[in-house]
Structure 1
Amino acid sequence: MTRLISALLLFALACASAAVARPNILIIVADDLGWADVGYHGSTIATPNIDRLCREGVELNRHYVSPVCTPTRIGLLTGRYWSRFGNTGPNNERCLPWETETLATALRSRGYDTCITGKWHLGSLPEWGPRQFGFTHSHGSLAGGVNPLNHFYKHGKYMKTWHRNDRLIEEEGHATDLIAREAIRYIRMERDGPFFVYVPFTAVHTPFLEEKRYLEAVKHIPDDRRFFAACLVHLDEKIGEIIKAVDDSGQRDNTLILFFSDNGGQNPSSDDSRRYPDTKPTSKFKGMNTPLRGWKVQTYEGGMRVPAFVNWPGTLKPGRSDALLSVTDWMPTLCALTGFKPTANLKWDGRNIWPMIRDPSKANRDRTLYCKGPGGRTRMVINDGWKLIEIKNGERFELYHLDDDPNEERDLFHSEPDEVDKMKRILARERKADDDARPDPKRKNPSPV
């Protein structure tokens, strides 16, 4: 009897341990990658490494982000909508209050080594860098996209932005290569515990400067999009090298890999390459979002619904989830997966979506997603298959039934008054929660690293 009880206790402990297993976590974020740019969505640009990871993982067919970069990064690292922090667009000022519990601080408390290599864009001065918000190691651009060769951000006070551990540095090499190299170096390091490596590439954001071999690989692409295509081929190659480093370390089966784009592809009429020092435009056409409507910056599907998947061999079976998912879901999901329990109410907008990742057949039609777009010019909510877009603080509204019209071709605002009223109430409820965590720009960091 004693042996039986001991065996049952050991089994219970094993189950508890499995419930809070600590996998390595690798999050790879592309910049300005459109819905139609990946091979698995029919692109003529070869992305074999991205495609293989998606094919062997769980494709997230309805994964929503902000239509611009900084807000998406806030959502990922806090589990909250960016507008709760008063943010709706690209921002070089400090975006988060000093004491914000981030995904990095949460995982660090669970014994993770935490690393970011790539684009931070949540505060573009060294004293606002990633190490102040939970990362033990940081590298890349404190600001946004950079000239990939000289690593300068746009003209102005934040132009010098390339750093390591929140200290500005000079480093030779192409930004895509350097970001990947740092990730590979960190993955290969010997350590006792698991790692969290966050790799927000600056590719495929403008400016585009690529070697001849990458341009040769996309000779079939029209001239006015060739440099973008070469940039994407380069990105895909480096993603493959990062995954190989995980494979070579013998940790592949214990590494969860998440991939997504920070927003949709950029409108071809917009190219700000000349705002970067010593930089000229090279591609008129960039990311493509077809058949989805709209572009980066817009709250139509093309601006917010992005290529995404999660891959974890031996734990996740290949499949596709059509559940309604948000970038804000990853903090609560990964915290639950790794056993982190908040000691205070973090007011997450996201949910633990792990049950839907494990079983992609699960649906969540009751889910509401909300977004305050750049400058507050638009707001949108999605609920029960419907999507309402408010334009210019209520000057105009549009209503779409995404179940029947995923490409937003038929505005039903005038023919569905009951749905409009319901969606307006949901939108009003979400708006009330905005701006409750704006950072105080005058407050000094109480615990600088």
Structure 2
Amino acid sequence: MDSLGWWLAKDRSMLGRACPLFRSPALCRKERLDDQGLRLRRGRSRWPIPPAVLLASMVVLPAMGAQAHASAGSPRPNFLIVVADDMGYSDAGCYGGEIATPNLDRLAAGGLRFTQMYSAGRCWPSRACILTGYYAQQVRMDPPQGPLPAWCRVLPHYLKPLGYRCYHVGKWHLMGAPRPVADGGFDRSWCLEDHNRYFAPRNALLDDQRQPPVPEGSDFYVTTAMADYSLQFLRQHQREHAGRPFLLYLAFTAPHFPLHARQEDVARYRDRFRAGWDVLRRQRYQRMLEMGLVTGALAPREPDVVPFWNFPESELQKQVGPGEVGRAVSWDALSDRQKDLQATKMAIHAAMIDRMDRELGRVLDEIRSMGALDNTVVMFVSDNGASAEQIIRGDGHDRSAPPGSGRTFLCLGPGFSTLANTPFRLHKHWVHEGGIASPFIVHWPAGLKARGELRHTPCHFIDLLPTVLELVGAKPEPAWRGVMAPPLPGKSLVPALAADRSIARDYLYWHHQTNRAIRVGQWKLVSAGTKDATGPWELYDLGSDRSETNNVAAAHPERVRQLEQLWQRCEEEFRQQAGPPPAKASKAAKGAKAAKTTKPKVKSSD
């Protein structure tokens, strides 16, 4: 065994220790949620082939001690997979936030909250992970480079042979399989392609067919429409396919910019955030500590770090007005006008999440009326952390229009994004914890004995598909359409559904644009890049420093070197598995000069 394998095996022995990363429920205080108590408290109802040396020491822990999958002979469960867009780790009430999310809170009280679920840090790579079960780099989705590999399946391709009907509503953004029905395998789909307008979107597909634009001035609101289409598909399912299980993949766009919300929803939060991001972050952090969601310090604000494509401060002032702020500076340093606009923007962000929760409640009520909720596995995640982006797209921004209305284009910005990602560093796009930590709620009355408990095992969106496959007893063929597929890189989370135990794995990997990271056990190597270059490596012991406030790279140079080598090996293997896009492959086949991989164009947003 080489030194890397020895070190990894040594570190793996720590998984069973009672450290904050892998502790048992008995070691965590206040981890159980009581639904009534929650309401009173809130005042409302509420292929990669890994390096061979790593495989030799791998141990898979079985599920023990509690029911965690459907028993033999019982009906296969339904699945409702819900994805929020740019929602911060701690925005929901059940994760410590100020926003009213009674439906998410009830799901958490009746199920599980995971404290270390990870996304890929941005919209399209995260959705590639969820829908394909692979890292986005394995399926040519980060950066997007043509269609998915010929061997790549999407979730319905696994479920439909088992009798499932599969429905999609909302955002898609899987560019390598652009049609949810024809390419993604869904039976029905309402797909929103216009991500710049909540009140009058111009581009949407119903079952892959282009729909007319929504007229201006109608009572349409995208989040509500997503619930409407969900109900339509569920009712059709009940009429025509009641004896079959279903998958509903509901991908909201809220609270992604532009900040658009109904004024009555905004009114409920008009004054909620006027204390400012500094005070509210401390309060939110304290609630999270009391809930047992986090350990370690509250990361400081980082006013010098913003997305490189953001408007400069002067342009922000020109386009939006003197109330706009381009950096996460001290709240006390702001003018009254700046405080007013920033608090208003956060109120709109909150209103969008509030409305999403209400519409999710309608979907849950419909499933309940079908008599199907008990045997429906509900999974809720956010595609990445909250966004510090500040740009204007779509129809531009009308400074005279009420904030949050259809003629405006406001973004949350780095100040309140820092609040939304409490207690972590940085934002969407980065692969520090603030960009990749996601809430993860699992609710399944018929299959989970645990109620209101926390799970601390590190996990990733690539784990969702393997979890679904185990829960339905699926053993997919290794080839798809005659082409051998790499093994899925993720791990089933079924053992963690049963009890608060770690899921053994070799590593977790990230790469988005110039941002890089790899995690082995409690050690995370991470780098924040710039527009044109990668940055220096930082090393954190997440067992005691989840918020990444103490960079110990200088004290552990050998560990940095080993983790960097592992990251590079993963990077090369994943790109090789994906293969070149078809056009480049065709050129090579014709004897053309081998095309070098070009630097991908950086998109200003998703």
TM over 0.5: yes
1:364–1:247 Cα change, 3 Å = same
Instruction: Structure 2: give runs of 5+ residues left out of the alignment.
Output: 1-69, 215-219, 273-342, 397-405, 479-484, 585-606
Distance in 2, Cα, partners of 1:421 & 1:394 = 16
- Measured in 2, the distance between the counterparts of 1:230 and 1:273 equals 20
Matched, 1:184 2:219: no
1:352 paired residue number: 492
Contact 2:154 2:185 in 1 (8 A): yes
Q: Does 1:151 align with 2:201?
A: yes
1:197 paired to 2:279: no
Separation of aligned partners in 1, 2:525 and 2:165: 41
Change (3 A) 1:353 1:412: same
Query: Who is 1:291 aligned against?
Result: 423
Please, which of 408, 412, 416 is the counterpart of residue 280 of structure 1?
Answer: 408
Identity of aligned residues (%): 27
Residues in 2 aligned to 1:38 and 1:291: alpha-carbon distance in whole angstroms: 14
The answer as to whether partners of 1:110 and 1:339 remain within 8 angstroms in 2 is: no
Q: Map Cα deviations across residues 204-243 of structure 1 (whole Å, 9 max, x no partner).
A: 1111222222012112232232211111111111011111
Are 1:85 and 1:439, in contact at CA under 8 Å, matched by a contact in 2? Answer: no
1:60-75 matches, cutoff 5 A: 60-75=114-129
In the alignment, is the contact (CA less than 8 A) between 1:206 and 1:273 conserved in 2? Answer: no
Which moves more between the two structures, 227-236 or 421-430? 421-430
Which residues in structure 2 correspond to 1:9-158 (within 5 Å)?
A: 16-18=72-74, 21-88=75-142, 94-97=146-149, 100-123=152-175, 128-141=179-192, 143=193, 145-152=195-202
The structure 2 residue matched to 1:254, chosen from 375, 383, 392, is 375
Q: Secondary structure at the match of 2:438?
A: coil
Q: CA deviation at 1:100?
A: 2.1
1:439–1:30 CA distance, 2 compared to 1 (3 A): farther
Question: CA shift at 1:326, angstroms?
Answer: 0.7
Distance 2:384 2:535 in 1: 25
Q: Match of 1:29, as an amino acid?
A: V
1:167 and 2:209 matched: yes
Report the alpha carbon displacement of residue 394 of structure 1 after superposing the two structures with TM: 6.3
d(CA) in 1 for partners of 2:155 and 2:487?
14
Distance in 1 of aligned mates of 2:251 and 2:582: 25
Q: What letter is aligned with 2:390?
A: D
Letter aligned with residue 200 of structure 1: A
Note the C-alpha offset of 1:349: 1.1
**Which residue of the partner structure matches residue 436 of structure 2?**
304
Partner SS state of residue 257, structure 1: strand
Task: Judge which range, 397-406 or 32-41, deviates more.
Answer: 32-41
CA offset at residue 99 of structure 1? 5.1
Q: CA deviation at 1:26?
A: 0.4
Cα distance between partner residues in 1 of 2:71 and 2:505: 31
Q: Which residue of 2 aligns with 1:245?
A: 366
- Quick check: 1:372 aligned with 2:511? yes
Contact 1:59 1:321 in 2 (8 A): yes
Q: Is the CA contact (8 Å cut-off) linking 1:71 and 1:88 kept in structure 2?
A: yes
SS at 2:108 equivalent? helix
Deviates more, 1:333-342 or 1:215-224: 215-224
- Equivalents in 2 of 1:266, 1:282: separation in Å? 12
SS at structure 2 position matched to 1:433 = helix
- Give 2:526's match in structure 1, choosing from 389, 394, 405: 389
Deviation at 1:25, TM superposition (A): 0.4
Contact 1:120-1:144 at 8 Å conserved across structures? no
1:321 aligns with: 455
Q: Give the deviation of 1:35 after TM superposition.
A: 1.1
| Whole-Å separation in 2 of the counterparts to 1:264 and 1:428 | 25
Q: 1:31 to 1:181 in 2, by over 3 A?
A: same
Question: Would the aligned equivalents of 1:227 and 1:283 in 2 still touch at CA under 8 Å?
Answer: no
- TM-score normalised by L of structure 1: 0.86
In the TM superposition, what whole-angstrom CA distance separates every residue of 1:290-326 from its partner, at most 9, and x where no partner exists? 1111100001001001111110013212211100111
Aligned pairs for 1:417-428 within 5 A:
417-428=557-568
- Letter of the 2:542 partner, please give it: L
Shift of residue 402 of structure 1?
0.5
Q: Which whole-Å CA distance do the structure 1 matches of 2:441 and 2:356 have between them?
A: 16
CA contact under 8 A between 1:94 and 1:122: conserved in structure 2?
no
How far is 1:98 from its partner?
Answer: 5.2
- The alignment covers a number of residue pairs equal to 411
Residues 166-175 or 309-318, more deviating? 166-175
Which residue of the other structure, out of 549, 565, 576, is the alignment partner of 1:409? 549
Alpha-carbon deviations, 1:381-432, whole Å to 9, x = none? 1111000014557652110000110100011110112321331232122112
SS at the partner of 2:104? helix
Identify if the C-alpha distance between structure 1 residues 196 and 25 changes in structure 2 by more than 3 Å, giving closer, same or farther.
same
TM-score, normalised on structure 2? 0.64
**Take 1:61 and 1:276, find their aligned partners in 2: how far apart are those partners?**
38
> Contact between 1:144 and 1:202, CA under 8 Å: does it hold in 2?
no
- 1:274 aligned counterpart, secondary structure: coil
SS in 2 for 1:27: strand
Any conservation in 2 of the 1:140–1:179 contact (CA below 8 Å)?
Answer: no
The structure that has the greater radius of gyration is 2
1:432/1:66 CA distance change after superposition, 3 Å: same
Which residue in 1 is equivalent to 2:57?
none
2:386 alignment partner in structure 1 = 265
